[in-house]
Chain A
Amino acid sequence: MKQTKGKMGIREFAAILFLLIGTKITDDTPTYLYSGAKNAAWISMLLISMALIIPTILLLKVLSVHKGKNLHEINLYLFGKVIGNMVSFTLLILGLLTIVMDSSVYVDIIGTMYFTKTPTIAIFAVLMCVSAYGAKKGVEHIGSVAWLVFFYTKVTLIVALFFTFKEGNSKLLFPILGPGVGGIVKTAAQKLSIFGDFFYAGLIAPFVATFKDFRRGMFLTYLILTVELTVALMLFVMLFDFTSVEILNYPFHETIRYIQIGFLTNVETLFFPFWLVATFIRFSFYIYLFVLLLGGIFKIREFEYLIPLVTVIFILLGIAPETPLITISENRDMTLQVLSPLLFVLPCVMWIIAKIRGDFKNESSV
């Protein structure tokens, strides 16, 4: 099966990004923010968004003068063959860690909150196989499916958040600065990588119909996701208060189990399927990005044939740890912290090199 070489429009691209980062609010990502910034986690989120705006603009600048090239190809061009490959390889390893750990977290959510008796390996296998199938279909298909389910997932999320708002109390957000400015800034700096997916999105830049669409898609999702994540972080505190929200593993799932819609109780069954679909799309895209980068580094043109193999590796790595909950949360925290400075610095370095090499001059002359 040859990969389709069609292009994505802004809708599909934006939908992928929305689902990719939007679902983070539903896993254990909020816990990492709450543990550092307590009830002021939402301020940390705003700071993250503000801090990353510069690298994102710089990245877009660099990408704009290398239209048709993906992130890896630009890395090779800017840093030379050896260092470029090393940079990409680092990104690949971090991507691998992210996929393995995120998938463990999602399997844990499904296993502990919904299907308690199902063996972990079964959930893992199903999640990964479905995602691999999605990835095999190519990024255009992932985009179409993402756009297809985009409204359903967002509407259910908004409904859930609205009812959370009704149950919550805004006074629980105070004292407004939480652990103090130091704590907020520190948490923000350590957890910058929440928006790391924007950087990885550079890998699919050539697949988006026009560069203008790519840039607009980035900015649009950037803005809306900032609002979405910030509001969600505020709402969880408004519902649970800062001491409780910190010890909850998955605040979103606790929320949908708690809220009632009118006379309807047990509404989590309403939200769960949509969340599940979003999860499948997210991992499909992750696997796709991974093999894309892998294929780029090792010069494998038919990289989609790698998908079944990598999927098996992911499953094996995912089920390897004995008590996943403990190992994963430690390592995940560490990965987030390692990834954070890298994602901030790398676009800046890329821009500086591009500047020195005079790439931008060509642009202005054209």
Chain B
Amino acid sequence: MNPLFKLFLLVPILFLLAGCWDHKEIERKSYVIGIGLDKGKEQGTLEITYLIGNPEVGSQQSGGSSMEEPSELITINVTDYISARNIANSVIAREISYDLLRVILVSEELASDKDFLRFIYGTVKDREIKRSTQLVVTKEKVGDYLKKNKPKMETRPHKYYEYMIDRGIETGMIPDSELHIFFRVTEEDAKVFLSAYTSSETTEEEKQGPTQDEFYAGQLEVKGETNRTEFFGSAVFLEGRMIGKLNGEENRLVMLLNEFSEISDIITTFQDPFHEQYQLSARIIAHKEKTVKMELNKKHPKIRVTLPLKVEILSDPSMTNYVEKKKETAQLEDYIESSMEKKIADLVERTQKEFKAEPFGWSLYARKEFKTLKEYMTFDWMKTYPEIDIGVKVDVELGEFGRQPKIPGFKGVRD
């Protein structure tokens, strides 16, 4: 064989060289699971808290018996989280890596700041931060939040945040708030972005009542020996700045109406229309596509939404046996429809008056009404939204009545 040809055979080996510059042993890296952002002491600076996971804890090799802590926290004052990596190395022995970053936590104080947008756009510059990272707003300072937030069972932080957020999205208590959605919504500039809201602080006016989802994070009374951190409700961002918040119930309604949500497991309560002292537990299933009709070209723009829902009544504390009573069932259906419609109408009014922009994603339907972007821009969805006449109709179809639909009458047992 020609010696020159042999030499060429070696060329692909060069290929391996390229990998070597970026080669790094896993052991030499320190994986940040969460970044906490607080307002710094000076203007234009941030107080960054790193939540660093310990890969040794709970892994197969150590048999889950390592004596080390599952996570570590450090807080430093810097200008951004890209340069923070090197500064953090004055305390942390290994190279800081964002490869496994799951969540960016922002304090309400910083999120409401007008400069928040400047800080958050740093995430698109960093190669390792993915657009699928969750953006979560904390009620208190993130530094304090992370110190307090010590889960009992999911001690490994990456699992804790993953499960907590995923389950919250399923139940609709918190929205899916990936950075990707934040950027898309902010850049579209037509609606508000909802971010998960969390707190590990308990407020004085804790509530525990019949309507269990009307709270904000930190307000739900939970007893027992558990971690008191709650993920509940959402923070509302308009043009990249936090302007308000929605409670758990409002967030669920938004998720029901929203195009992008993956809400799949909603169990809530309705007041029993025939017995004021009782609450009916119900599972709500969005089984059909909602219809959104728009009339935007007239002087008075109108939106009509129909939300078809299947409702399964899971409890029957008054022992009425709805399943046997046709008239009552029909009334119950009407009652659920009207009570939901009222709640939605209140929420829509609140978004029109308080936020002056919508979280429902109706701008997407509005876009269908226009042929070109220019027409759509001139219409100016965000400006027009507060004046639009909006009507939401809920169309309830009663489904199952629990595993055993019939139960004996209360009086029949207690005679």
Tell me whether A175 and B127 are in contact in the complex, defined as CB-CB below 8 angstroms, given that A129-B14, A133-B11, A243-B187 are known contacts. Answer: no
Q: Which of B11, B127, B373 contacts A112 (CB 8 A)?
A: B127
Q: A113-B127, A254-B131 are in contact. Are A174 and B368 (CB under 8 A)?
A: yes
Chain A CB within 8 A of B163 CB: no
The stretch of A83-91, A114-122, A327-335, A339-347 in contact with B is: A114-122
B132 and A175 within 8 A (CB): no
Within 8 A of B (CB), among A170-204: 171-172, 174-180
Chain A residues in 8 Å Cβ range of B14: 125-126, 129-130
Q: Beta-carbon contacts of B184-221 to A below 8 Å, as 1s and 0s?
A: 10011100000000000000000000000000000000
User: CB of B2 within 8 A of chain A?
Assistant: yes
Does A180 contact B17, Cβ atoms closer than 8 Å?
no
Whether A175 and B11, one on each chain, are in contact in the complex, defined by CB atoms closer than 8 angstroms, is no
Q: B11, B12, B18, B22: which has the most chain A beta carbons within 10 Å? A: B18
> Does B132 lie within 8 Å of A265, measured CB to CB?
yes
Q: B374 an interface residue at 8 Å Cβ cutoff?
A: yes
**Known contacts A175-B367, A258-B132; A115 and B18 CB within 8 A of each other:** yes
Q: Mark B4-15, 1 if CB is under 8 A from A, else 0.
A: 110010011011
Interface membership of chain B positions 35-68, coded 1 if the CB is closer than 8 angstroms to chain A and 0 otherwise: 0000000000000000000000000000000000
> B99 interface residue, CB < 8 Å from A?
yes
A169 to B289, CA, bound (A): 14
Answer whether residue A156 sits at the interface, using C-beta atoms and an 8 A cutoff. no
- Interface bracket on B: 35 or more
Interface pair B259/A169, CB less than 8 Å apart: yes
Contact B127 A129 (CB under 8 A): no
Q: How far is the CB of A236 from chain B (nearest CB, A)?
A: 12
Known: A136-B8, A169-B364. A175 touches B21 (CB 8 A): no
- Please give, as numbers and ranges, the residues of chain B lying within 8 Å of A126 by CB-CB distance: 14-15, 17-18
- Kindly state whether residue A39 has any CB partner on chain B within 8 Å: yes
Task: Name the residue in A113, A169, A177, A244 with the highest tally of chain B Cβ atoms < 10 Å from its Cβ.
Answer: A244
Q: Is B183 interfacial (CB-CB < 8 Å)?
A: yes
Contact A130 B12 (CB under 8 A): yes
Cβ–Cβ < 8 Å partners of B370 in chain A: 174-175
Contact between chains at A179 and B21 (CB < 8 Å): no
B373:A171 contact, CB within 8 angstroms: no
A210 within 8 A of B: no
Asked if B8 contacts A118 (CB within 8 A), the reply is: no
B187 touches A241 (CB 8 A): yes
CB–CB A118/B21 < 8 A:
yes
Selected from B2, B8, B17, B367, the residue in CB contact (under 8 A) with A171 is B367
A118 (CB) vs chain B CBs: closest residue = B21
Cα distance, A254 to B99, chains bound together (Å): 15
Shortest B191–chain A CB gap in Å is 11
Main secondary structure of the interface of B (DSSP, over half): helix
Q: Is B115 in contact with chain A by the CB < 8 A criterion?
A: no
A172 surroundings in chain B (CB, below 8 A): 364, 367
* Complex: A118 Cα to B16 Cα, angstroms: 12
The reply to whether B99 and A257 contact each other, CB–CB distance below 8 Å, is no
In the complex, chain B residues 321-372 whose Cβ is within 8 Å of any chain A Cβ: 364-365, 367-368, 370-372
* Residues of the B chain whose Cβ atoms lie less than 8 Å from the Cβ of A242: 373
- With an 8 A cutoff between CB atoms, is B375 at the interface? yes
- Interface pair B19/A175, CB less than 8 Å apart: no
Contact mask for chain B residues 130-146; partner A; CB cutoff 8 A; 1 contact, 0 none: 11100000000000000
- Please tell me if the beta carbons of A122 and B18 are within 8 angstroms of each other in the complex: yes
Give every chain B residue within 8 A of A3 (Cβ-Cβ).
none
Interface residues on A, range: 35 or more
- Contact check, A175 vs B371: say whether CB atoms are below 8 A apart: yes
Nearest chain B residue, comparing its CB with the CB of A174: B367
Chain A residue at smallest Cβ distance from B4? A1
Bound: A125/B17 CA distance, A: 11
Measured between alpha carbons, how far is A244 from B189 in the docked complex, in Å?
11
Residue of A nearest to B377 (CB): A175
Contact across chains for A1 and B2 when beta carbons are under 8 A apart:
yes
Report chain B residues within 8 Å CB of A177: 371-372
Flag if B127 contacts A116 (CB, 8 Å).
yes
Cβ A116 vs Cβ B11 within 8 A: no
A349 at the interface (CB under 8 A from B): no
Q: How far apart are the CA atoms of A178 and B372 in the complex, in Å?
A: 5
The smallest beta-carbon distance between A135 and chain B, in angstroms, is 11
The CA-CA distance from A116 to B19 in the complex, in Å, is 10
Does B180 count as interface, using CB distance less than 8 angstroms? yes
Which of chain A's residues have a CB closer than 8 A to the CB of B99?
266
CB neighbours of B364 from chain A (8 A): 169, 171-172, 174
Is A123's beta carbon under 8 Å from chain B? yes
A240 in contact (CB, < 8 A): yes
Judge whether B119 is part of the interface by a CB distance below 8 angstroms. Answer: no
Find the A residue at minimum CB distance from B129: A257
A246–B365 Cα distance when bound, in Å, is: 22
A260 at the interface (CB under 8 A from B): yes
Is B274 in the interface zone, CB < 8 Å from A?
no
Evaluate whether A171 and B259 lie within 8 angstroms (CB atoms) in the complex, with A1-B2, A118-B18, A254-B131 already known.
yes
A72 sits at the interface (CB 8 A): no
CB-CB under 8 A from A169, the residues of chain B are 259-260, 364
Within 8 Å of chain A (Cβ to Cβ): is B278? Answer: no
Q: Is the CB of B5 within 8 A of A1?
A: yes
Q: Which of B22, B189, B368 contacts A115 (CB 8 A)?
A: B22
Residue B376 CB within 8 A of the other chain: yes
B365: chain A residues within 8 A (beta carbon): 171
- Given contact pairs A117-B21, A172-B364, A176-B371, A240 touches B184 in the complex (Cβ within 8 A): yes
The answer to whether B132 and A123 have CB atoms under 8 Å apart is: no
Asked if A66 is an interface residue, CB under 8 A from chain B, the answer is no
B187 partner, pick from A38, A115, A244, A260, beta carbons under 8 A = A244
A51 to chain B, nearest CB (A): 21
Q: Tell me, in angstroms, the Cα distance from A243 to B376 when the chains sit together.
A: 14
Q: Which residues of B contact A (CB under 8 A)?
A: 2, 4-5, 8, 11-12, 14-15, 17-19, 21-22, 99, 127, 130-132, 180, 183-184, 187-189, 259-260, 364-365, 367-368, 370-376
Q: List 10 A-B contacts (CB under 8 A).
A: A116-B127, A118-B18, A126-B14, A130-B15, A169-B364, A174-B367, A175-B368, A175-B375, A178-B373, A180-B371
List residues of A whose CB falls within 8 A of some B CB.
Answer: 1, 38-39, 112-119, 122-123, 125-126, 129-130, 133, 136, 169, 171-172, 174-180, 240-244, 247, 254, 257-258, 260, 265-266
Known: A118-B18, A136-B8. 20 other contacts (CB 8 A): A115-B21, A118-B21, A122-B18, A123-B18, A125-B14, A126-B17, A126-B18, A129-B11, A169-B260, A171-B368, A174-B364, A174-B368, A175-B370, A175-B373, A179-B372, A179-B373, A180-B372, A180-B373, A244-B184, A258-B130
- Give the 10 A-B CB pairs with smallest separation, nearest first: A118-B21, A171-B364, A174-B367, A243-B187, A175-B370, A180-B372, A174-B368, A115-B22, A258-B131, A177-B372
